[in-house]
Amino acid sequence: MRKTYLSWGIISILGMTACQEASKPETKINDSNTPLHLLTPEYTTPYRGWTAEEIKQDLDRIFVYLDEETPTRVLDTLTGKEITDYSQLNAHAQLEKGDFRLASYEWGVTYTGMLEAAEATADSKYREYVARRFDFLSEVAPHFRKLYEEHRTVDAQIRQVIMPGALDDAGAMCAAMVKFSKSASGVDYKGLIDNYMDFIEHKEHRLADGTFARMRPQANSLWLDDMYMGIPALAYMGSYTGEQRYFDEAVRQIKQFTDRMFVPEKNLYMHGWIESSDTHPAFHWARANGWALLTLTEVLDVLPSDHPERADLLKIYKQHVQGITAYQSGSGFWHQLLDKNDSYLETSATAIYVYCIARGVNKGWLDAIAYGPVAHLGWSAVSTQINEKGQVEGTCVGTGMGFDPAFYYHRPVNPYAAHGYGPTLLAGAEMIRLIQKSYPKMNDSAIQYYETDPKTDAAIFGVDGQTY
C-alpha cells in the first residue's frame, strides 16, 4: 500500500508540475528579448549556399534519365529488329523512339548543355553522350538521304537533319555541332554543318532587309525565338571558318530584331512582331526573352574582342539583363509572362536566365555583387524542379505566337517538354563555375557574393570585422 500511495504521490506531484507549467504564460517574442532579424523566414524555395558536388548530383540525375531515353539505334518497324548495316536501310527503317528526339532545336541546346557540364564538372560522360549521338547522326544521315531519294520516304526524326524545313531544325543543332567539332577528333561533321548552314543562309524566309521571318501566324512575322534559332549558328560559323561575314551577319540580325522588338520602357523584348500591323501587342513571354538573352550571350562568347559593334551588343545584353532581373519573383523563378505576376512560374526560362546571368558574371560583363545572388536564387528555384527520376518539371510546352494573354497563361507544362533539359544543364554547369570563381556566403541572413574568401561563416559587418 505504501508503494501505491507513493506512486500516486509521484503522479500527483508530476501532475501539479505539469499544470503549473501549462498555466505559465507563454514568453512573448519581442524586440527586447529576441534578435528578430535572426528569425527563420518561410522560404518557398531553398535559400542557402550550394556546393559544386550538390549541383553535379542534380546534373547527374538528368544525365541518367536522358541517356536512357535518347537511344541511338535504327529499327525495322515491320520486324522490330535493329538494323546495324545502314547501307541496307528500307522504307520501314526508323530511329528508335525514346522520350525525346535526337535532332530538334531543344536537343541542340541540350547537347550544348552537356558539353558545358563536361567542362564544368571534368566528367567525360557528358561529352561522350554528345559524341555518341553526333557520330550516330553523322553515320546514318547519308544512308537515309539515299533512302529518301529512292523511295521518297524517310523517318521524321532524320528528316530534320537531312532536309531542315525551318530554323528550328537547323540553328541550334548547327551551333552545337560547330562547338563540338572544334575539339572533336575522328569524325567529320562538316557535311551536316554545311547542310544546316545552307538552310539558314539561303532557304529561311526573310523580310526585305534580310531579317529572319516566318509566314505564320501572319505573313512576315518576326518570332523572337528565331534570334536563337538562327543567329548563334552564324556567329559560331565565324569562329569555325574565320570568315568575318558570319560575325557581321549575326550582329546585323540582332540589331534588326532589337530595333523592332525591344521595349525600352521595360528592357524586355516582345514575343511577336507582324510587318503589316500598325500596332504590335507586347507580350513578354519568358522563354522567348530567354532565347534572345541566350543569343546575346552566345554571340558575345565568340565575337572577336575588336569587332566594331561588340560594345553595342554588350550594351543590349546589359539592358536586357536589367529588365529581366527586375521581374524575378521572390521564389527565384520568373513568370510565364514576365510582367504578369498572376501568370505561372516557369522553369525553362528561369534556367536560361540563370545560365546567361551567371555566364555574364563569370565573363566579367556583369557585377558579381549585384547579379551573383540573382543567378544563385534562380538556381535554387530550378533545382526544386528536378525530380528523382531526373526529369525537369514545370516547363512550358512548345508555344507559337499569340496576341492575347489567355494564350500564354494557359499553355500546359510537361516534364516531356524538351525545352527544360538543355537550359537546366547549362544553368547548373555555369553555377558550378560561378561558385568556384566567387565566394558566395550567407551574411546576416542574405546571400552575398565576395571577390575574396571572407574566411568566416559569421555575419560580416565590415572589412575589418567591426560593426558600422
Per residue in 66-94, pLDDT (tens digit) is 999 999 999 999 999 999 999 999 999 99
By the 8 A CB rule, do 275 and 221 touch? yes
For 49, 155, 448, 457, the CA distances from 442, given in Å and listed in that order, are: 7, 53, 6, 7
Grid coordinates 500500500 are at which residue? 1
Average pLDDT of the residues in 328-338 = 98
pLDDT digits (tens, 9 = 90+) for 28-70: 889 898 888 888 899 999 999 999 999 999 999 999 999 999 9
For residue 19, pLDDT over 60 is answered with: no
- Helix ranges (H only) for 262-402 are 286-302, 310-325, 347-363, 368-383
Q: According to the model, what pLDDT value does residue 458 have?
A: 77
C-alpha distance from residue 72 to each of 103, 286, 355 (Å)? 12, 33, 29
Alpha carbons 374 and 301: distance in angstroms, whole number: 21
Domains annotated for the chain, with CATH where assigned, are 41-53+343-468 (1.50.10.10)
Q: Indicate the pLDDT class of residue 5, thresholds 50, 70 and 90.
A: very low
Q: How confident is the model at residue 23 (pLDDT cuts 50, 70, 90)?
A: low
Secondary structure of residue 272 in the 3-state scheme: strand
pLDDT of residue 369: 97
Lowest mean pLDDT among 9-13, 46-50, 134-138, 293-297: 9-13
CA distance 238 to 242: 5
pLDDT at 22 > cutoff 70: no
CA distance 443 to 450: 10
Going by C-beta distance under 8 Å and a sequence separation of 6 or more, which residues neighbour residue 124?
118
- In this structure, are residues 372 and 436 in contact, taking their beta carbons and an 8 Å threshold? no
Q: What percent of the chain has pLDDT over 70?
A: 93
Which of 168, 156, 103, 99 is CA-nearest to residue 134? 103
> Which secondary-structure segment (H or E) carries 171?
helix 167-181
C-alpha distance from residue 214 to each of 51, 101, 179, 252 (Å): 44, 23, 27, 18
User: In the prediction, which pLDDT does 7 show?
Assistant: 43
Radius of gyration of the chain from its Cα atoms, rounded to whole angstroms: 27
Give the model's pLDDT for residue 20: 56
Torsion sign, CA atoms 103, 107, 109, 110: negative
Amino acid sitting at position 355 = Y
| pLDDT value of residue 183 | 79
Question: What average pLDDT does this structure show over 122-143?
Answer: 97
What's the mean pLDDT in 248-257? 98
Three-state DSSP at 130 gives helix
Closest CA to 351 of 81, 140, 62: 62
- CA nearest neighbour of 429 among 364, 373, 351: 351
Residue 348 CB-half CA count within 13 A = 29
Residue 206, SS3 per DSSP: strand
